[in-house]
A and B are shown apart, each in its own frame.
Chain A
Amino acid sequence: MDYGLKPLGREKLWLWLMLAPTIIGLLFGTIGSLLATLGLSLFNWDLINPPKWAGAENYVQLFQNKDYIEAFANTLKFSALYVPGVVIISLLLAVLLNRKIRGVGFFRTVYFLPTVTSAVATALVWNMIYGKETGILNFALETLGFAPVCWLCSDNAMMSVVIVNIWGAIGEGMIIFLAGLTAIPRDYYEAASLDGANDVQQFFRVTLPLVTPSIFFQTLIAAINAFQAYDYIYMLTRRGQGDSSVPVAVYSIYRNAFHFFRMGDASAQAIQLALLVAVFMAIMFWWERRYVVYE
């Protein structure tokens, strides 16, 4: 299919010229570092001495490294909680904010704000909210007569971190779903209500099938973000010596590369994480062919 006009003559030159910064950036920045990581994963390199050939050794070690296995399991656990959380909550939020209610712009802004706020700054605020002795959350619990909870201790840290990450992501999800919702023609709802469908039935029979493209897209984005989640986790769970109470795969990659000087191990971990994302994407695209409805 062809859309729009094709560039003519001199326009072509300008087209390439304008695209050049992005393409060069992609080539060297993204693809270059991807290939370099792939290459480094086959070597042992401590950043100072010349890299030594290691072959598949770094990959074999992934399956013996208890710390990495724990980090990898944490990433999976985190994703399993985070992805459905983001998709479901932002969809419900979008449905709520797609109505003609007073001050809808205000609410939309409020939910979108975390997306445009620095994660480091908001994580500091969350630290205060989660504080065991002085935190506002425990203050509320204690006022209601419950015992205080240590939100950031090892036992609860995963759940606390998932909540913050979901909170930070629903704004973006909401925008995507709002766009999807506005694209649904009004007459479908009119027809449905003429046939006697109530609100809940309308949601499941009309809205849900028609926003599947948005659900697909949002799940994909959320999953990629989940596998790469790092900033809130680092800020909320970092311990004194640089370990974390919720060490995730990216955390492990960072420490191995820049604290323990094991670039090879770190690169192999990064490649494994990338493979996992790729497998997940493949599953998603299979799911897309079966269930996603395009008008």
Chain B
Amino acid sequence: MKKLMFVLVVASLLLAACGGGAKPAAEEGPVEITFTMWGAPEELAVWQAVVDDFHKANPNISVKVDVSDWDSYWTKLNTLIAGGTPPDVFAMDAPLFLDWQSRGALLNLQPYIDANPGFLDGIYPQTLTAYKTADGYYGLPRDFQTIVLFYNKDMFDAAGVDYPTADWTYDDMLAAAKKLTLDTNNDGKVEQYGFWSDTWDMELLWSEAIWAYGGEIISPDHSKTLIGEGGARDAWAYIDSLYKEGVMPTPTTSGEFGLDLFQSGMAAMTTIGHWAVPGYVQSGINFDVAPMPKGPAGQATSVNSAGFVISKDSKHADAAFEFIKFALGEAGQTKLAQLGFAIPVLKSVAESDAYLKQPGELNQKVFLDSVAFARTKPVFKGYEEWAGVVGDGLIPVFDGEAELNATLDELIVAADEVLAANK
């Protein structure tokens, strides 16, 4: 019996660990590469168009695109990789990049980039840093997001409040939010909130606020969590005041009003990226955008990108890179700009009509101009676990069950432990 158990254990481990070993010889004849990404079903059509154009330019390579929603995407990816059948090219969220790169799942793209001099020249440099490691790039950005302030024009008009300007401070935002928080039927409950944002992820509000108040998020060597030092505490006190003043529903109650309160017409302002635009347009909200407010240390926003990576075990790495090259080129980026979910990483396309003249009357330039004071969303190993400790750990504070500073002190210790464990 013992022997049988041993054989079974070994067999199951081998089954899981092996597979997909053989390396290909030189590539000849037509090849098919697979590209897996997360996204909405309507994105598939645009990607298919990009892929078709690519195939026309490179008749020897065809690309099979596979789109899943965010949650199933990562599960699927893990399964494919663990099973030894990774996709050749797959989409990467910049903050999670190092978690994947450090596990050795990704191919070093530096040799390919070196073989294509000038290839990265037209790309926004803030979007590139996330994928750079000591021995070169293991991924490349495909499109990016800056966070800006969205406001509902109808609600501002009705309350007689002036639209946000590029010179707004965080205090101006709070003052306007107070005027826009309304109990329209006098039942003692708020029907319209002045502001709404998700505060569990740093990207939407708290990283910007911390930078604008002169704080930092993490030390450059990724060993220390800095969200409790200097200006950062003031930023947290500000965010806490948005909840305490009642201009924003608490994290646990906000779900009762829909996933996105700006979209459901419950909130007059929000801070979010370009990916929200198609949904807002569809909901028929009359809105525009302004840059993030200023803090005592100036203005700041966050740049985050979605990118391409090539699997280390890809059998068609050359073909896979050709596809990335095409998608990052003028033609590919112009097509992708039509998606309307993000900003193209190629500067010439972002500044062209393909991006600036999208349907709707939105001031698209605000997203681009924000790059001038944007910082890259931090990328480090153990990001997901760290973000869980910090982002979710503050929910009891914002729900009004715990004290801000004491909770922060506790969280920072736990967050530093995560960083130490991921060294």
Contact with B along A41-66 (1 / 0, CB 8 A): 00101111111000000000000001
A243 CB–B CB distance under 8 Å: yes
Question: Do A239 and B78 have beta carbons less than 8 Å apart?
Answer: no
B45 CB–A CB distance under 8 Å: no
Question: Do A46 and B103 have beta carbons less than 8 Å apart?
Answer: yes
Question: Do A47 and B81 have beta carbons less than 8 Å apart?
Answer: yes
A127 CB–B CB distance under 8 Å: yes
Which size bracket describes the interface of B in this complex? 35 or more
Q: Which residues of chain B are within 8 angstroms of A261 by Cβ–Cβ distance?
A: 78, 99, 103
Contact with A along B365-407 (1 / 0, CB 8 A): 0000000000000000000110111011101100111100000
Question: Do B200 and A133 have beta carbons less than 8 Å apart?
Answer: no
Instruction: Identify which of A12-20, A89-97, A150-158 touches chain B.
Output: A150-158
Bound Cα distance from A75 to B16, whole angstroms: 30
Question: Do B401 and A155 have beta carbons less than 8 Å apart?
Answer: yes
Bound Cα distance from A132 to B200, whole angstroms: 19
B237 CB–A CB distance under 8 Å: no
Question: Do A43 and B13 have beta carbons less than 8 Å apart?
Answer: yes
Question: Do B255 and A127 have beta carbons less than 8 Å apart?
Answer: yes
Question: Do B9 and A36 have beta carbons less than 8 Å apart?
Answer: yes
Q: Which residues of chain A are within 8 angstroms of B13 by Cβ–Cβ distance?
A: 36, 39-40, 43, 51
Q: Which residues of chain A are within 8 angstroms of B253 by Cβ–Cβ distance?
A: 131-133, 150
* Closest residue of B by beta carbon distance from A33: B12
Q: Which residues of chain A are within 8 angstroms of B10 by Cβ–Cβ distance?
A: 39
A25 CB–B CB distance under 8 Å: no
Question: Do B384 and A241 have beta carbons less than 8 Å apart?
Answer: yes
Question: Do A153 and B78 have beta carbons less than 8 Å apart?
Answer: no
Q: Which residues of chain A are within 8 angstroms of B82 by Cβ–Cβ distance?
A: 47-48
Question: Do A154 and B9 have beta carbons less than 8 Å apart?
Answer: no
Question: Do A240 and B201 have beta carbons less than 8 Å apart?
Answer: yes
Question: Do A150 and B200 have beta carbons less than 8 Å apart?
Answer: no
Say whether, besides A48-B81, A152-B252, A153-B252, A39 and B12 are in contact (CB < 8 Å).
yes
Bound Cα distance from A141 to B395, whole angstroms: 25
Q: Which residues of chain B are within 8 angstroms of A259 by Cβ–Cβ distance?
A: 384-385
B198 CB–A CB distance under 8 Å: yes
Question: Do A153 and B105 have beta carbons less than 8 Å apart?
Answer: no
* Closest residue of A by beta carbon distance from B422: A260
Bound Cα distance from A149 to B81, whole angstroms: 46
Question: Do B9 and A239 have beta carbons less than 8 Å apart?
Answer: no
Q: Which residues of chain B are within 8 angstroms of A145 by Cβ–Cβ distance?
A: none
Pick the contact of B392: A40, A134, A240, A260 (CB < 8 A). Answer: A240
Interface size for A (C-beta < 8 A) is 40
Q: How far is the CB of B185 from chain A (nearest CB, A)?
A: 14
A35 CB–B CB distance under 8 Å: yes
A207 CB–B CB distance under 8 Å: no
* Closest residue of A by beta carbon distance from B13: A39
Bound Cα distance from A43 to B9, whole angstroms: 12
Q: Which residues of chain B are within 8 angstroms of A32 by Cβ–Cβ distance?
A: 8, 12
* Closest residue of A by beta carbon distance from B391: A241
* Closest residue of A by beta carbon distance from B312: A48
Q: How far is the CB of B350 from chain A (nearest CB, A)?
A: 29
A286 CB–B CB distance under 8 Å: no
Q: Which residues of chain B are within 8 angstroms of A66 by Cβ–Cβ distance?
A: 414
Say whether, besides A134-B256, A241-B387, A154 and B396 are in contact (CB < 8 Å).
yes
Q: Which residues of chain B are within 8 angstroms of A21 by Cβ–Cβ distance?
A: none
Q: Which residues of chain A are within 8 angstroms of B385 by Cβ–Cβ distance?
A: 259-260
Pick the contact of A241: B99, B249, B388 (CB < 8 A). Answer: B388
Pick the contact of A47: B78, B251, B256, B396 (CB < 8 A). Answer: B78
Which B residues between 318 and 333 are near A, CB-CB below 8 angstroms? none
A98 CB–B CB distance under 8 Å: no
Bound Cα distance from A159 to B387, whole angstroms: 27
Contact with B along A263-286 (1 / 0, CB 8 A): 000000000000000000000000
Contact with B along A135-148 (1 / 0, CB 8 A): 10000000000000
Question: Do A260 and B384 have beta carbons less than 8 Å apart?
Answer: yes
Contact with A along B65-96 (1 / 0, CB 8 A): 00000000001001001100000000000000
A291 CB–B CB distance under 8 Å: no
Bound Cα distance from A239 to B392, whole angstroms: 6
Question: Do A258 and B78 have beta carbons less than 8 Å apart?
Answer: yes
Most-contacted residue by chain B among A33, A47, A245, A255 (CB, 10 A): A47
Say whether, besides A39-B12, A153-B399, A132 and B256 are in contact (CB < 8 Å).
yes
Contact with B along A80-101 (1 / 0, CB 8 A): 0000000000000000000000
Which B residues between 158 and 200 are near A, CB-CB below 8 angstroms? 189, 198, 200
Contact with A along B12-48 (1 / 0, CB 8 A): 1100110000000000000000000000000000000
Q: How far is the CB of A247 from chain B (nearest CB, A)?
A: 10
A7 CB–B CB distance under 8 Å: no
Q: How far is the CB of A39 from chain B (nearest CB, A)?
A: 4
* Closest residue of A by beta carbon distance from B255: A127
Q: Which residues of chain A are within 8 angstroms of B5 by Cβ–Cβ distance?
A: 35
CB pairs A–B below 8 angstroms (19 shown): A33-B12, A35-B5, A36-B8, A39-B10, A40-B13, A43-B13, A48-B81, A128-B256, A132-B250, A132-B253, A133-B253, A134-B256, A150-B253, A150-B399, A154-B395, A242-B384, A258-B78, A260-B385, A261-B99
In the A-B complex, list the 3 residue pairs whose CB atoms are closest, starting with the nearest.
A240-B200, A39-B9, A243-B392
Q: A47-B103, A49-B104 are in contact. List 5 more A-B contacts (CB 8 A).
A: A50-B17, A128-B256, A240-B200, A243-B392, A258-B75
